[in-house]
Amino acid sequence: MTKAELKGKTAFITGGASGLGLGTAKVLANAGVNVVLADFRQNALDEATKYFEDKGQPALGVKLDVTDREEYAKAADAAEAKFGKIHILFNNAGIGIPEGNIWEDKWEDIDLAIDVNYRGILNGIKTILPRILAHGEWGYVVSTASKAAIVPVPKFTLYNSLKMGVVTVMETLKMDLDAIGSKVGSAVFCPGGYTTNLGQSSGELRAKHLGVEIPQMPPPPPPPKDGEAPQGPPPGFEMPDFSKIMRIPEEAGERIVRAMLRGDMYILTHSEFKKGWDERAAAISRAFPDQPQNEDYKKIFAILMGNEVFNKQTQVPGYAYGDEY
Ligand SMILES: NC(=O)c1ccc[n+]([C@@H]2O[C@H](COP(=O)([O-])OP(=O)(O)OC[C@H]3O[C@@H](n4cnc5c(N)ncnc54)[C@H](O)[C@@H]3O)[C@@H](O)[C@H]2O)c1
Protein backbone atom coordinates (compact mmCIF):
# COMPACT_ATOMS: atom_id res chain seq x y z
CA MET A 1 0.00 0.00 0.00
CA THR A 2 1.31 3.46 -0.89
CA LYS A 3 0.18 6.83 0.39
CA ALA A 4 -1.33 7.62 -3.04
CA GLU A 5 -3.38 4.41 -2.89
CA LEU A 6 -5.01 5.53 0.37
CA LYS A 7 -7.01 8.13 -1.56
CA GLY A 8 -10.73 7.35 -1.54
CA LYS A 9 -10.50 4.80 1.28
CA THR A 10 -12.58 5.28 4.44
CA ALA A 11 -11.41 5.30 8.06
CA PHE A 12 -13.72 4.83 11.07
CA ILE A 13 -12.08 6.52 14.04
CA THR A 14 -13.37 6.16 17.59
CA GLY A 15 -12.53 9.01 19.91
CA GLY A 16 -12.22 10.89 16.61
CA ALA A 17 -13.40 14.25 17.96
CA SER A 18 -10.24 15.01 19.90
CA GLY A 19 -6.58 14.29 20.57
CA LEU A 20 -4.90 11.33 18.91
CA GLY A 21 -8.05 10.28 17.02
CA LEU A 22 -8.54 13.75 15.57
CA GLY A 23 -4.82 14.20 14.82
CA THR A 24 -4.81 10.91 12.92
CA ALA A 25 -8.02 11.88 11.11
CA LYS A 26 -6.29 15.05 9.90
CA VAL A 27 -3.31 13.10 8.54
CA LEU A 28 -5.60 10.58 6.84
CA ALA A 29 -7.83 13.31 5.37
CA ASN A 30 -4.75 15.03 3.93
CA ALA A 31 -3.97 11.74 2.20
CA GLY A 32 -7.45 11.75 0.63
CA VAL A 33 -9.10 9.32 3.06
CA ASN A 34 -12.77 9.83 4.01
CA VAL A 35 -12.89 10.14 7.78
CA VAL A 36 -15.70 9.01 10.08
CA LEU A 37 -15.33 10.60 13.51
CA ALA A 38 -17.14 8.55 16.15
CA ASP A 39 -17.34 10.07 19.62
CA PHE A 40 -19.77 10.38 22.54
CA ARG A 41 -19.17 14.13 22.98
CA GLN A 42 -21.50 15.92 20.56
CA ASN A 43 -19.92 19.39 21.01
CA ALA A 44 -16.43 18.13 20.28
CA LEU A 45 -17.81 16.12 17.38
CA ASP A 46 -19.51 19.16 15.82
CA GLU A 47 -16.36 21.23 16.13
CA ALA A 48 -14.14 18.51 14.67
CA THR A 49 -16.48 17.75 11.78
CA LYS A 50 -16.65 21.45 10.90
CA TYR A 51 -12.84 21.55 10.69
CA PHE A 52 -12.92 19.04 7.82
CA GLU A 53 -15.97 20.56 6.14
CA ASP A 54 -14.25 23.97 6.11
CA LYS A 55 -11.28 22.38 4.36
CA GLY A 56 -13.53 20.62 1.85
CA GLN A 57 -12.39 17.19 3.08
CA PRO A 58 -14.97 14.37 3.22
CA ALA A 59 -15.93 13.71 6.83
CA LEU A 60 -18.85 12.36 8.84
CA GLY A 61 -19.42 12.84 12.56
CA VAL A 62 -21.36 10.08 14.30
CA LYS A 63 -22.38 10.07 17.94
CA LEU A 64 -21.15 6.84 19.48
CA ASP A 65 -20.37 5.50 22.91
CA VAL A 66 -18.16 2.48 22.18
CA THR A 67 -19.67 0.62 25.13
CA ASP A 68 -23.05 0.54 23.35
CA ARG A 69 -23.15 -2.29 20.77
CA GLU A 70 -26.47 -1.32 19.18
CA GLU A 71 -25.33 2.27 18.73
CA TYR A 72 -22.05 0.93 17.28
CA ALA A 73 -23.85 -1.04 14.57
CA LYS A 74 -25.92 2.04 13.69
CA ALA A 75 -22.78 4.19 13.48
CA ALA A 76 -21.18 1.65 11.14
CA ASP A 77 -24.34 1.62 9.00
CA ALA A 78 -24.23 5.43 8.81
CA ALA A 79 -20.56 5.34 7.76
CA GLU A 80 -21.30 2.82 5.00
CA ALA A 81 -24.37 4.74 3.87
CA LYS A 82 -22.23 7.85 3.43
CA PHE A 83 -18.95 6.43 2.05
CA GLY A 84 -19.67 2.85 0.96
CA LYS A 85 -16.92 0.60 2.26
CA ILE A 86 -14.97 1.05 5.49
CA HIS A 87 -11.25 0.14 5.11
CA ILE A 88 -9.59 1.32 8.31
CA LEU A 89 -10.80 0.97 11.89
CA PHE A 90 -8.87 3.17 14.30
CA ASN A 91 -10.09 1.70 17.57
CA ASN A 92 -8.83 4.55 19.69
CA ALA A 93 -11.41 5.73 22.26
CA GLY A 94 -10.17 5.22 25.78
CA ILE A 95 -10.25 6.77 29.23
CA GLY A 96 -8.29 7.15 32.42
CA ILE A 97 -10.16 6.67 35.69
CA PRO A 98 -9.13 7.61 39.24
CA GLU A 99 -6.85 4.75 40.30
CA GLY A 100 -4.74 3.81 43.27
CA ASN A 101 -4.10 0.48 44.93
CA ILE A 102 -6.39 -1.91 43.03
CA TRP A 103 -7.86 -3.30 46.26
CA GLU A 104 -9.05 0.19 47.12
CA ASP A 105 -10.48 1.16 43.68
CA LYS A 106 -14.26 1.52 43.39
CA TRP A 107 -16.20 -1.29 41.71
CA GLU A 108 -17.96 1.16 39.38
CA ASP A 109 -14.65 2.60 38.19
CA ILE A 110 -13.24 -0.89 37.66
CA ASP A 111 -16.26 -1.85 35.55
CA LEU A 112 -16.21 1.40 33.57
CA ALA A 113 -12.51 1.06 32.75
CA ILE A 114 -13.09 -2.50 31.49
CA ASP A 115 -16.17 -1.44 29.50
CA VAL A 116 -14.41 1.35 27.62
CA ASN A 117 -10.74 0.33 27.44
CA TYR A 118 -11.24 -3.37 26.73
CA ARG A 119 -14.84 -4.21 25.77
CA GLY A 120 -14.95 -1.04 23.63
CA ILE A 121 -12.00 -2.37 21.60
CA LEU A 122 -13.69 -5.75 21.10
CA ASN A 123 -16.97 -4.03 20.19
CA GLY A 124 -15.10 -2.15 17.45
CA ILE A 125 -13.51 -5.29 16.05
CA LYS A 126 -16.76 -7.33 16.20
CA THR A 127 -18.78 -4.55 14.54
CA ILE A 128 -16.43 -3.20 11.88
CA LEU A 129 -13.97 -5.95 10.94
CA PRO A 130 -16.56 -8.32 9.36
CA ARG A 131 -17.63 -5.40 7.15
CA ILE A 132 -14.02 -4.85 6.04
CA LEU A 133 -13.49 -8.56 5.40
CA ALA A 134 -16.75 -8.78 3.45
CA HIS A 135 -15.59 -6.40 0.70
CA GLY A 136 -12.21 -8.14 0.44
CA GLU A 137 -10.10 -5.04 -0.25
CA TRP A 138 -7.05 -3.81 1.68
CA GLY A 139 -7.81 -2.77 5.23
CA TYR A 140 -6.24 -2.18 8.64
CA VAL A 141 -7.37 -2.33 12.25
CA VAL A 142 -5.27 -0.21 14.60
CA SER A 143 -6.11 -0.14 18.31
CA THR A 144 -4.73 2.36 20.78
CA ALA A 145 -3.07 0.88 23.85
CA SER A 146 -0.39 2.88 25.65
CA LYS A 147 3.22 2.95 26.66
CA ALA A 148 1.79 1.91 30.05
CA ALA A 149 0.98 -1.48 28.50
CA ILE A 150 4.60 -2.34 27.89
CA VAL A 151 6.17 -0.58 30.88
CA PRO A 152 3.49 -0.62 33.61
CA VAL A 153 3.51 2.12 36.22
CA PRO A 154 2.61 1.75 39.92
CA LYS A 155 -0.99 2.30 41.07
CA PHE A 156 -2.47 2.04 37.54
CA THR A 157 -3.47 -1.63 37.54
CA LEU A 158 -6.51 -1.11 35.33
CA TYR A 159 -4.96 1.21 32.78
CA ASN A 160 -1.75 -0.88 32.55
CA SER A 161 -3.44 -4.24 32.29
CA LEU A 162 -6.37 -3.36 30.02
CA LYS A 163 -3.98 -1.64 27.62
CA MET A 164 -1.72 -4.73 27.70
CA GLY A 165 -4.85 -6.74 26.93
CA VAL A 166 -5.28 -4.57 23.83
CA VAL A 167 -1.71 -5.39 22.75
CA THR A 168 -2.48 -9.10 22.95
CA VAL A 169 -5.81 -8.71 21.16
CA MET A 170 -4.06 -7.08 18.21
CA GLU A 171 -1.20 -9.62 18.13
CA THR A 172 -3.69 -12.49 18.07
CA LEU A 173 -5.81 -10.72 15.47
CA LYS A 174 -2.72 -10.42 13.26
CA MET A 175 -2.11 -14.17 13.55
CA ASP A 176 -5.73 -14.97 12.74
CA LEU A 177 -6.03 -12.53 9.82
CA ASP A 178 -2.79 -13.82 8.31
CA ALA A 179 -4.01 -17.40 8.73
CA ILE A 180 -7.04 -16.74 6.50
CA GLY A 181 -4.87 -14.92 3.92
CA SER A 182 -6.76 -11.65 4.36
CA LYS A 183 -5.53 -8.28 3.10
CA VAL A 184 -6.35 -6.69 6.45
CA GLY A 185 -3.53 -5.67 8.77
CA SER A 186 -3.59 -5.45 12.55
CA ALA A 187 -1.54 -3.09 14.68
CA VAL A 188 -1.37 -1.80 18.21
CA PHE A 189 -0.46 1.80 18.90
CA CYS A 190 1.41 2.42 22.17
CA PRO A 191 1.86 6.17 22.54
CA GLY A 192 3.94 7.96 25.11
CA GLY A 193 3.12 11.53 26.08
CA TYR A 194 0.94 13.61 23.72
CA THR A 195 -0.92 16.82 24.42
CA THR A 196 -4.62 15.87 24.31
CA ASN A 197 -7.86 16.29 26.29
CA LEU A 198 -7.78 12.89 28.00
CA GLY A 199 -8.37 14.26 31.52
CA GLN A 200 -11.38 16.31 30.43
CA SER A 201 -13.01 13.66 28.21
CA SER A 202 -12.47 10.89 30.79
CA GLY A 203 -14.19 13.08 33.40
CA GLU A 204 -17.12 13.64 31.03
CA LEU A 205 -17.49 9.93 30.29
CA ARG A 206 -17.38 9.13 34.00
CA ALA A 207 -20.06 11.75 34.59
CA LYS A 208 -22.23 10.23 31.85
CA HIS A 209 -21.90 6.63 33.08
CA LEU A 210 -21.65 7.04 36.84
CA GLY A 211 -23.69 10.19 37.37
CA VAL A 212 -20.77 11.90 39.11
CA GLU A 213 -20.00 15.58 38.58
CA ILE A 214 -17.71 16.57 35.72
CA PRO A 215 -14.45 17.51 37.45
CA GLN A 216 -13.41 21.12 36.96
CA MET A 217 -9.84 22.00 36.04
CA PRO A 218 -7.98 22.72 39.31
CA PRO A 219 -7.61 26.47 40.04
CA PRO A 220 -4.11 27.94 39.73
CA PRO A 221 -2.15 27.96 43.01
CA PRO A 222 -2.59 31.17 45.03
CA PRO A 223 0.25 33.70 44.82
CA PRO A 224 2.71 33.48 47.73
CA LYS A 225 2.01 35.83 50.65
CA ASP A 226 4.64 38.36 51.70
CA GLY A 227 7.63 36.60 53.20
CA GLU A 228 6.46 33.16 52.03
CA ALA A 229 8.62 31.08 49.68
CA PRO A 230 7.11 30.98 46.17
CA GLN A 231 5.63 27.63 45.15
CA GLY A 232 7.39 25.85 42.34
CA PRO A 233 10.29 23.54 41.65
CA PRO A 234 12.99 23.15 44.32
CA PRO A 235 16.07 25.38 44.03
CA GLY A 236 18.46 24.16 41.37
CA PHE A 237 15.77 22.24 39.44
CA GLU A 238 15.36 23.57 35.96
CA MET A 239 11.77 23.13 34.81
CA PRO A 240 11.85 21.66 31.28
CA ASP A 241 9.84 23.26 28.49
CA PHE A 242 6.85 20.90 28.28
CA SER A 243 5.95 22.15 24.82
CA LYS A 244 9.21 20.57 23.67
CA ILE A 245 8.56 17.29 25.51
CA MET A 246 4.92 16.52 24.85
CA ARG A 247 4.17 15.74 21.22
CA ILE A 248 1.25 16.83 19.06
CA PRO A 249 -1.45 14.38 17.90
CA GLU A 250 -0.70 14.93 14.19
CA GLU A 251 2.78 13.54 14.81
CA ALA A 252 1.16 10.39 16.17
CA GLY A 253 -1.13 10.30 13.14
CA GLU A 254 1.87 10.36 10.79
CA ARG A 255 3.43 7.45 12.70
CA ILE A 256 0.19 5.47 12.44
CA VAL A 257 -0.20 6.06 8.70
CA ARG A 258 3.45 5.22 8.08
CA ALA A 259 3.00 1.99 10.05
CA MET A 260 -0.04 0.97 8.00
CA LEU A 261 1.88 1.54 4.76
CA ARG A 262 4.80 -0.52 6.13
CA GLY A 263 2.55 -3.33 7.38
CA ASP A 264 3.73 -2.95 10.99
CA MET A 265 2.12 -4.70 13.97
CA TYR A 266 3.59 -2.51 16.72
CA ILE A 267 3.48 1.31 16.60
CA LEU A 268 5.71 2.81 19.28
CA THR A 269 6.47 6.48 19.65
CA HIS A 270 9.22 7.13 22.20
CA SER A 271 12.56 5.28 22.10
CA GLU A 272 13.05 6.41 25.74
CA PHE A 273 10.76 3.57 26.86
CA LYS A 274 12.87 0.81 25.28
CA LYS A 275 14.95 0.45 28.46
CA GLY A 276 11.88 -0.38 30.57
CA TRP A 277 10.63 -2.90 28.02
CA ASP A 278 14.08 -4.53 27.73
CA GLU A 279 14.23 -4.89 31.52
CA ARG A 280 10.74 -6.41 31.64
CA ALA A 281 11.44 -8.85 28.76
CA ALA A 282 14.77 -9.81 30.31
CA ALA A 283 13.15 -10.42 33.71
CA ILE A 284 10.62 -12.80 32.14
CA SER A 285 13.39 -14.54 30.17
CA ARG A 286 15.38 -15.07 33.35
CA ALA A 287 12.33 -16.59 35.05
CA PHE A 288 12.28 -19.59 32.68
CA PRO A 289 13.87 -22.56 34.44
CA ASP A 290 17.42 -23.27 33.32
CA GLN A 291 16.96 -26.91 32.31
CA PRO A 292 17.08 -29.07 29.14
CA GLN A 293 14.14 -28.82 26.74
CA ASN A 294 12.01 -31.80 25.71
CA GLU A 295 12.13 -32.01 21.89
CA ASP A 296 8.94 -34.12 21.63
CA TYR A 297 7.03 -31.59 23.70
CA LYS A 298 8.26 -28.84 21.36
CA LYS A 299 7.05 -30.78 18.30
CA ILE A 300 3.62 -31.67 19.69
CA PHE A 301 2.92 -28.19 21.04
CA ALA A 302 4.70 -26.23 18.30
CA ILE A 303 1.82 -23.72 18.22
CA LEU A 304 2.69 -22.67 21.77
CA MET A 305 6.38 -22.04 20.99
CA GLY A 306 6.02 -18.87 18.90
CA ASN A 307 4.45 -17.39 15.80
CA GLU A 308 5.92 -16.03 12.60
CA VAL A 309 4.01 -12.74 12.99
CA PHE A 310 6.73 -11.63 15.39
CA ASN A 311 9.37 -12.00 12.66
CA LYS A 312 7.33 -9.84 10.29
CA GLN A 313 7.82 -6.75 12.47
CA THR A 314 11.00 -5.11 11.19
CA GLN A 315 13.14 -2.34 12.69
CA VAL A 316 11.30 0.98 12.32
CA PRO A 317 13.39 3.89 11.07
CA GLY A 318 13.39 7.06 13.17
CA TYR A 319 10.83 9.75 12.39
CA ALA A 320 10.61 13.46 13.13
CA TYR A 321 7.40 15.38 12.51
CA GLY A 322 7.38 16.61 8.91
CA ASP A 323 9.67 13.86 7.56
CA GLU A 324 8.57 12.22 4.32
CA TYR A 325 7.89 8.48 4.45
N1 LIG B 1 -2.45 11.41 25.32
C2 LIG B 1 -1.54 10.53 25.65
O3 LIG B 1 -0.39 10.88 25.96
C4 LIG B 1 -1.88 9.06 25.64
C5 LIG B 1 -0.88 8.14 26.02
C6 LIG B 1 -1.17 6.80 26.00
C7 LIG B 1 -2.41 6.35 25.56
N8 LIG B 1 -3.37 7.25 25.19
C9 LIG B 1 -4.66 6.72 24.70
O10 LIG B 1 -5.00 7.42 23.52
C11 LIG B 1 -6.41 7.30 23.29
C12 LIG B 1 -6.97 8.63 22.86
O13 LIG B 1 -6.91 9.54 23.93
P14 LIG B 1 -6.37 11.03 23.79
O15 LIG B 1 -5.16 11.15 24.62
O16 LIG B 1 -6.34 11.43 22.38
O17 LIG B 1 -7.52 11.83 24.59
P18 LIG B 1 -8.69 12.81 24.09
O19 LIG B 1 -9.57 13.05 25.25
O20 LIG B 1 -8.11 14.02 23.46
O21 LIG B 1 -9.44 11.95 22.99
C22 LIG B 1 -10.19 10.82 23.35
C23 LIG B 1 -11.56 10.91 22.71
O24 LIG B 1 -12.25 9.68 22.96
C25 LIG B 1 -13.58 9.98 23.28
N26 LIG B 1 -14.16 8.89 24.07
C27 LIG B 1 -13.85 8.52 25.33
N28 LIG B 1 -14.61 7.49 25.71
C29 LIG B 1 -15.42 7.20 24.67
C30 LIG B 1 -16.45 6.27 24.47
N31 LIG B 1 -16.84 5.42 25.44
N32 LIG B 1 -17.07 6.23 23.28
C33 LIG B 1 -16.72 7.10 22.29
N34 LIG B 1 -15.78 8.04 22.44
C35 LIG B 1 -15.13 8.09 23.62
C36 LIG B 1 -13.53 11.30 24.02
O37 LIG B 1 -14.75 12.00 23.98
C38 LIG B 1 -12.41 12.03 23.30
O39 LIG B 1 -12.91 12.86 22.27
C40 LIG B 1 -7.00 6.71 24.57
O41 LIG B 1 -7.25 5.34 24.36
C42 LIG B 1 -5.88 6.89 25.58
O43 LIG B 1 -5.93 5.93 26.60
C44 LIG B 1 -3.12 8.60 25.23
Distance 93 CA to ligand 1 centre (A): 5
| Closest alpha carbon to 12 in 132, 113, 95 | 132
Burial 34-50 (b: 16+ CB within 10 A, else e): bbbbbbbbeebbeebbe
User: Using 50, 70 and 90 to split pLDDT, how confident is the model at 224?
Assistant: low
Distance 15 CA to ligand 1 centre (A): 6
Given ligand 1 and candidates 163, 198, 246, which is best to mutate, with the most ligand atoms within 8 Å of its CB? 198
Distance 227 CA to ligand 1 centre (A): 43
Residue 217: inside a domain: no
How many independent structural domains does the chain possess?
Answer: 1
Quick one: pLDDT at residue 225?
73
Tell me the pLDDT tens digit for each residue of 111-143.
999 999 999 999 999 999 999 999 999 999 999
With a 6 A CB cut-off, is 67 part of the ligand 1 pocket?
Answer: yes
Active site residue: 118, 140, 159, 194, which one?
Answer: 159
Residue 54: inside a domain: yes
Tell me the pLDDT tens digit for each residue of 252-268.
999 999 999 999 999 99
Residue 237 reports pLDDT greater than 80: no
Tell me the pLDDT tens digit for each residue of 269-282.
999 999 999 999 99
Residue 82 reports pLDDT greater than 80: yes
Quick one: pLDDT at residue 229?
61
Are the CB atoms for 313 and 264 separated by under 8 Å? yes
With a 6 A CB cut-off, is 150 part of the ligand 1 pocket?
Answer: no
Average pLDDT score, the chain: 94
Residue 111: inside a domain: yes
Residue 222 reports pLDDT greater than 70: no
Residue 12: inside a domain: yes
**51: annotated active-site residue:** no
What is the span of the domain harbouring residue 76? 4-206+243-273
* SS (HEC) of 182-251: CCEEEEEEECCCECCCHHHHHHHHHHHHHCCCCCCCCCCCCCCCCCCCCCCCCCCCCCCCHHHHCECHHH
Q: Which residue has the higher pLDDT, 66 or 246?
A: 66
Q: Domain containing 119 — which CATH number?
A: 3.40.50.720
